[in-house]
Amino acid sequence: MCPADKEVFSSFAHAQVSITNEIFQYLGEPETFLFCPTEYCGTFCYPNVAQSPYLHTVGEKLLPGIEVLWTGPKVVSKDITVESIEEVSKILKRAPVIWDNIHANDYDQKRLFLGPYKGRSTELIPRLKGVLTNPNCEFESNFVAIHTLATWYKSNMNGVRKDVAMTDGEDSTVSIQIKLENEGSDEELETDMLYSPQLALKLALTEWLGEFLVPHQYNSRQVPHSGAKSSAINVSSLGASSLCAGTTVFQQPIMAPTGAPDPNNHPMAKSLQQQEVDVEKKESDEEPMEMVVEKPYETDPEPDPVAEAETETKNSLVLLDKMVEELKPMDTDREVLVPESKSPEEDIDMAPMQTDEQLKQDVFVLGPNEKVLYTAESLSLEDLTLLAELFYLPYEYGPKALHMLKEFNWLRANCSTVGVDCKDKEPEKVVEWQSRAERFEEMCCSVIQMFTRLSNSANRTILYDLYPYIWDIKSIMSMVKSFVQWLGCRSQATAQFLSGDQEPWAFRGGLAGEFQRFLPIDGANDLFFQPPPALPTSKIYSIRPCYPKDEHAVYKICREMYSEGVEELPFGGEEPDLIGDRLVGGFLNLSPDYGFVLEDEEGICGYALGTVDVKPFVKKCKMSWIPSMQEKYNKPDCQKDLSDAEKMMLSFHEEEEGLPESFLSNFPSLIKMDIHAKVIDPSVAKSMMGCLLSCLKANGSIGAFCEVRQADKRMIDFYSKLGCFEVAKMEGFPKNIIIMGRSL
């Protein structure tokens, strides 16, 4: 505080209160006037809430008509208790207005919060002046946040206290029963007799599903935000199949425990059923989609979070029998348009969004000899539920997401039972690992399937806001799935999931960050940074381990990419396997455990091969691979000018010098990658490199290198974008070859 202010005000609190009171009176004491204090949460109060001189000054000096904002115990509060609100209300001499950050995501560009309004008892409602939600930066992603907040408020909008809602009879018995059923559960026990977060979430998702089926796209300007950013999107090149809408949603009825009242009589259940009927009536002229019945997840002896969530949903219906007012679906405007800003400043900062109508591009039409590769599937309630559980709340993941984390950690920790070097394998443990790995891969596929269906949704406006996040989680799950398919390395230390009492920005990256930290190359952030394409696409590439049957396809890719940019194949068609034998044959035959292939709907379109230690690999080549190649390719006559093919044949008959030991001590692993030119998605190369390097590091490698022809600018650029750098020339390096390395 400057000297002049110190002469007038005794503290910052007195200064703020004085100015606020003066403005409030100058405006004629409006009915709604909000003041945000410097100490707006419990952790900001010095020394604590009860003894804070600042809050005491605000409470005593601020005019009664001014409301005070409060975020709870923390900036982002997991729980806001009745006791904490009563404490701060006593000091402020008024009921606070909760400024809730439970769905705010501006502190982490990879996190989105689609979980229900939770951790706030409905008993707070009569003790508060109001609630403001500070939601996700992306407008369309806030349907669940706003809908569940409205459901929470409507569940006790008359201010019924808990001691009135509960009696000493049946409800007490129900509470004890639920407590026993949930004993040992990882999920927090919901004791609110009027509001169920899980049921509110299902109600919101059921209604939100209808929004995805309505073709819609904003024509207004794109509003910049602080979260994960998506570029202006051109959707005109998407085929008609990508704009298909689902018609019928099948879901299992929510069953109540034995002896409980009919769940159809519950207000929230009635509202939920009505939403299902509305969704089914969207497009009644189309055929209903088939309901996919997923296999139940088998888990370790620990409680199954999915089953616990279902139990919680069942029990919530019993609790909702005491609801005092029927809940109705929140009214929404499906065609709300953001008005175009008239501000000159905003006109400068904002760029117009590209739309189908503006670009006027031709829609792709199948040719006479072409066929549809796939039919776009409609988005289901199960897909939205999975989406919400992947992007749940700041302090917790949804049941399915948590289950996937636990399963991946178990598979990683127990992979030695099926490792290639494992001796004395126990058949029962091998079967268990393989079975759980298969189910985990199915869960990963469900995430990828959700991404595909959501990318094909008719409402492009919602897609634009969600796409950066679903792209990110799809990419990491694809990498994790490939790693599990390969696994055979030693276990790593067990990690914890969202433990401790930190603010949520301590958990960088959300669920995708958790899976990244489980991979051996968790620090390779450049490989995990995979921005979404400018044009949303539902095209999916699959990365899997390379098998012997893939040799022909890998050879074909190697041959085509070696000749990229050359009008004619330099070696002709006389020796079609020569390039493959020279560049990738040794990897496929002598180091098959460190190989991956990239596939699309047409087949293999890329590969990533490696060997964990190049020194024994070179010895094996000299003992078996090179002699077989010398028999296959005769030594050319060195007295004449040799063609490129003859020079490559000659290389099998010449002794190669080994790389310096000083270099191999830092870069022991040799890698070779290639992706067909038709693949324009740069993220798949990063994912393939991530899979390969994870396998190498998991088996002890500290660095990898590749060999590139000095004139091959394409491959030099390719490896450079994957984090490889040119190693300074050393004695013993081959001529006309550039060595590029990467530390692990």
Tens-place pLDDT, residues 26-45: 999 999 999 999 999 999 99
Radius of gyration (C-alpha) of the chain in whole angstroms = 31
The residue written with tokens 């796209």 in the block is: 217
> Has residue 711 got a pLDDT over 70?
yes
Q: Would you tell me how many other CB atoms lie within 10 Å of the CB of residue 101?
A: 24
Phi-psi region of 376 (alpha: psi -120 to 50; beta: other; left: phi over 0): beta
* pLDDT, tens digit, 9 for 90 and up, residues 182-200: 444 444 445 566 899 999 9
- Distance of alpha carbon 267 from its chain centroid, rounded? 34
Which of 253-257, 260-264, 348-352, 640-644 comes out lowest in average pLDDT?
Answer: 253-257
How far are the Cα atoms of 47, 127, 417, 580, 617 from residue 44, in angstroms, in the given order? 9, 22, 50, 65, 60
Over range 231-242, report the average pLDDT.
35
Over range 1-24, report the average pLDDT.
89
139 within a domain of the structure (yes/no)? no
688 within a domain of the structure (yes/no)? yes
Which pLDDT does position 419 carry in this prediction?
Answer: 59
145 within a domain of the structure (yes/no)? no
C-alpha angle 252-256-260 in degrees, rounded to nearest 5: 155
585 within a domain of the structure (yes/no)? yes
Phi-psi region of 721 (alpha: psi -120 to 50; beta: other; left: phi over 0): alpha
- Distance of alpha carbon 446 from its chain centroid, rounded? 13
Which pLDDT does position 420 carry in this prediction?
Answer: 52
Which pLDDT does position 61 carry in this prediction?
Answer: 93
Number of domains in the chain: 1
Structure tokens at 374: 């796939």
In angstroms, rounded to a whole number, what is the distance separating the alpha carbons of residues 547 and 553?
11
Question: Domain range for residue 682?
Answer: 546-744
Average pLDDT, the chain: 75
Which pLDDT does position 18 carry in this prediction?
Answer: 94
The residue count of the chain comes to 744
Over range 446-459, report the average pLDDT.
92
The residue written with tokens 């443990």 in the block is: 429
* pLDDT, tens digit, 9 for 90 and up, residues 47-74: 999 999 999 999 999 999 999 999 999 9
Over range 471-489, report the average pLDDT.
84
456 within a domain of the structure (yes/no)? no
- The helix/strand count (H/E) of the chain reads as 27, 11
Q: Report the percentage of the chain scoring pLDDT > 70.
A: 68
500 within a domain of the structure (yes/no)? no
Assign 3-class secondary structure to 590-626.
HCHHHEEEEEECCEEEEEEEEECCHHHHHHHHHHHHH
Coil/strand/helix, residue 304: coil
- If pLDDT is split at 50, 70 and 90, which confidence band does 424 have? low
* pLDDT, tens digit, 9 for 90 and up, residues 283-299: 434 333 333 333 333 44
Structure tokens at 304: 């199954």
Q: Report the percentage of the chain scoring pLDDT > 90.
A: 38
588 within a domain of the structure (yes/no)? yes
State the amino acid at position 39 in one-letter form: E
- If pLDDT is split at 50, 70 and 90, which confidence band does 282 have? very low
Over range 369-374, report the average pLDDT.
45
Q: What would the DSSP string read from start to end of 141-188?
A: GGHHHHHHHHHHHHTTTT---HHHH--SSHHHHHHHHHHHHTTT-SSP
Which pLDDT does position 737 carry in this prediction?
Answer: 86
Which pLDDT does position 566 carry in this prediction?
Answer: 54
Which of 92, 22, 4 lies closest to 52, judged by CA? Answer: 92
Structure tokens at 59: 């409470």
Which of 98-107, 158-167, 480-489, 609-618 comes out lowest in average pLDDT?
Answer: 158-167
> Has residue 164 got a pLDDT over 80?
no
Which of 235-239, 357-361, 437-441, 650-654 comes out lowest in average pLDDT?
Answer: 235-239
Q: Name the more confident of 428 and 553.
A: 553
* pLDDT, tens digit, 9 for 90 and up, residues 295-326: 333 444 444 544 444 444 444 443 344 333 44
Phi and psi, residue 68, nearest 5°: -115, 130
Which pLDDT does position 57 carry in this prediction?
Answer: 94
Over range 599-603, report the average pLDDT.
89
512 within a domain of the structure (yes/no)? no
Over range 83-89, report the average pLDDT.
95
> Has residue 725 got a pLDDT over 70?
yes
Which pLDDT does position 71 carry in this prediction?
Answer: 95
Which pLDDT does position 231 carry in this prediction?
Answer: 38
State the amino acid at position 27 in one-letter form: L
What CATH number has the domain bearing residue 635?
3.40.630.30
